[in-house]
Chains A and B, each alone.
Chain A
Amino acid sequence: MTLDITDLKVTIGGKEILRGVDLTLTAGRVHGLAGESGSGKTMTGLAVLGLLPHGSRTAGSIRLDGRELLTLPPKELNKVRGGEVAMVFQDPATSLHPMLTIGRQLTEHMRHHLGLGRAEAKARAVELLGKVRIPGPEEAYGRFPHQFSGGMRQRIAIAVALACSPKVLIADEPTTALDVTVQAGVLRLLRGLCDELGLAVLLVTHDLGVMSAVADEVSVMKDGLVVESGPRGRVLREPAHPYTRALLDSLPDAELDPAESGTPKSGTPESGTAKSGTAKSGTAKSGTARSGTARSGTARSETANSGAAEPDAEAR
């Protein structure tokens, strides 16, 4: 199973949002897509599902196992949505309908896509809730989203996305709206599901820390173009593009651990080791701004870092 995006171009209202994006997702691999806000990460994700805003034009090609998605008739596309390609959105507080029970939101597309009966769908939903580690899945089934915490809601949103056993999962900043303490849990869950179910995952994020924790491959976007792409270890350790370097430099030390990158499935980053990885030593002059305490940060560090820090600060 592969999802191939080639030369994807999107214009909205005459403005070029994507200028020829190439990406490939493969089963069982997490592909991280990084970049500042406005670089087109989310639009790439939405384009796969045909969910771009009204008035947008698309060119290029998105192929799911050789089938072109961009020209699919609406009925066929609706079968792909949720059934073969699913999506998890940024803010679980708004991406679940506040007035419908969890059970309803978990089962309605199952029944529509898979033609399951009420009881079958419920059994599967409860099983899924257990799989994403919601305590008391039977009771949770009848509850409403506001009765869960943010982290739980995102787990539920992931369960909703997985309900019809899709092959591709697009996770659009799935941890950005969450507490730092629950982020790791959600990421571990995503990684685990990817390995267990053989999902192809596109993990959209502006957070390279998140990226280094779970991604197998990393692509970096800027101004509607993929400027760098490759295995995580290589991209994070030896960034070829200046923009990637700038992104890496803008990170606080503890968040990124390129030395660990050889084993992508190791889960969360273990901070503390290898503070002076090759990537950072190469650009040591901007390291001053990188340190959270920034005692040395005066005029010099500001100028050195101005290009690098801005995109990330804006994204956050």
Chain B
Amino acid sequence: MHPLARFLVRRVLLAVLMAWGITLVTFVLTNLVPGDPVAANLGQRAMSDPAIVSQWRAEHGLDRPLWQQYLLYLQGLVQGDLGMSQQSHRPVSQDLAEFVPATLELAGAAILVSLVLGVAFGVVAALRRDRLPDHALRVLSLIGISVPTFWLALVAFYVFFYRLQLTPGSGRVDVALGLAPPVTGLQTVDALLAGRWDIFASAAGHLVTPALVLALYTIGLLTRFTRSAVLEVLGQDYVRAARAKGLPGRTILFRYVLRSALVPIITVAGLAFGSLLSGTVLVEAIFAWPGIGQYAYKSATTLDLPAVMGVGLVVGVVYLVINLIVDVLYGVIDPRVRLQ
């Protein structure tokens, strides 16, 4: 088997094992939290009636021992059944299918923007070290890293929507237009698939501000890390050797410098994208973005355990996928990793 393929298979198997670990952790943690789902879900009158309480508990499987509950949960899970939400009275999987794509669209756009801008800014700062572009980008990245996301979201909303009226307000798309027929759940993509340019423009317009707000922190972080990574590689012997070979500057930058610098960059990017997900909760709340962050907040406050576990599982799997991508990229970029 090709070493890269073997490397891939090993990483995927490891990821599956970790996914199982995530189910265990989310299940145990949600059941350890102090708080009685009965109290959160039933009214005062119903709670005072023991018959109703025990019937409700039996209905949601809460009367069984914990290990049995976990096995039942796992059994459902492999069939794609995440249980019933106690609040929406719909299967959790159905709820997630509705909310997850919205978050993926927002976070995906933010990741894309921050990768492109962060790496480009970092390279420019390194190549123009201690000159004007470097200083300007240093200020920008400092702002990005130190300004809290929720504050930035509020200010951006106030300035660009309310004051300047440059951007559309809350939500994913103009209500008057309606949603594009769902295929992927990503409004921009679905609108394109349906050939509805008006919906696409509206969806993209709604996406710009929250995605930028969400991305600013990661842009700042990636700019800093890319700058220092590129500077370090520029001082390496093999870059000087490449210059001595008379290669054109562009070849040296992309083939020699960026390739090496990418290893620390993707490490930071992987971590940053994980934390970007937690940022979505705040941004979604302020821009009324119907995503998983809002759903998680609602289910947590009502102790809707199946929903909370479902959200935990999704976030955990997203982390896993990001880590898997980072690991695979290590192997693709650096032959020494893949041959170990």
Contact = CB atoms under 8 A, between A and B. Distances in A.
Interface in A94-149: 94-100, 108-109, 112-113, 144, 146
A89 B239 CA distance: 12
Contacts of A238: none
Interface string A55-93: 000000000000000000000011111110011010100
Interface residues of B, number: 21
A294 interface: no
Chain B CB count within 10 A is highest, among A80, A83, A86, A95, for: A95
A17 interface: no
Contacts of A1: none
A51 interface: yes
Contact of A80 (B240, B246, B251, B255): B246
Contacts of B237: 89, 91, 94-95
Given A78-B246, A97-B242, 6 more contacts: A49-B244, A82-B247, A94-B237, A99-B336, A109-B247, A112-B246
Given A97-B256, A99-B333, A89 B241 contact: yes
25 contacts: A51-B243, A78-B246, A80-B246, A81-B244, A82-B245, A82-B247, A87-B244, A89-B237, A94-B236, A94-B238, A95-B237, A95-B241, A98-B260, A98-B335, A98-B336, A99-B335, A100-B255, A108-B245, A108-B247, A108-B251, A109-B245, A109-B247, A113-B246, A157-B241, A160-B241
Interface string B186-208: 00000000000000000000000
Nearest to B257: A97
A112 B248 contact: yes
A94 B238 CA distance: 6
Contacts of B236: 94
Chain B CB count within 10 A is highest, among A51, A98, A146, for: A98
Contacts of B64: none
A310 to B, nearest CB: 27
Interface of B: 236-238, 240-248, 251, 255-256, 259-260, 333-336
Given A108-B251, A144-B336, A146-B336, A97 B238 contact: yes
A56 to B, nearest CB: 14
A97 B336 CA distance: 12
Instruction: Give the bracket for the number of chain A residues in contact with chain B.
Output: 20 to 34
Contact of A89 (B240, B251, B256, B333): B240
A134 B255 CA distance: 25
A94 to B, nearest CB: 4
Nearest to A79: B246
A98 B21 CA distance: 36
Contact of B245 (A81, A98, A99): A81
Given A87-B241, A89-B237, A99 B334 contact: yes
Contacts of B335: 98-99, 144, 146
A99 B260 contact: yes
Nearest to B260: A99
Contacts of B259: 97, 99-100
A146 B120 CA distance: 30
Given A97-B256, A100-B255, A144-B335, A83 B238 contact: no
Contacts of A94: 236-238
A91 B251 CA distance: 23
Nearest to A81: B246
A95 B238 contact: yes
A86 B242 contact: no
A51 B240 contact: yes
Nearest to B240: A51
Contacts of A146: 335-336
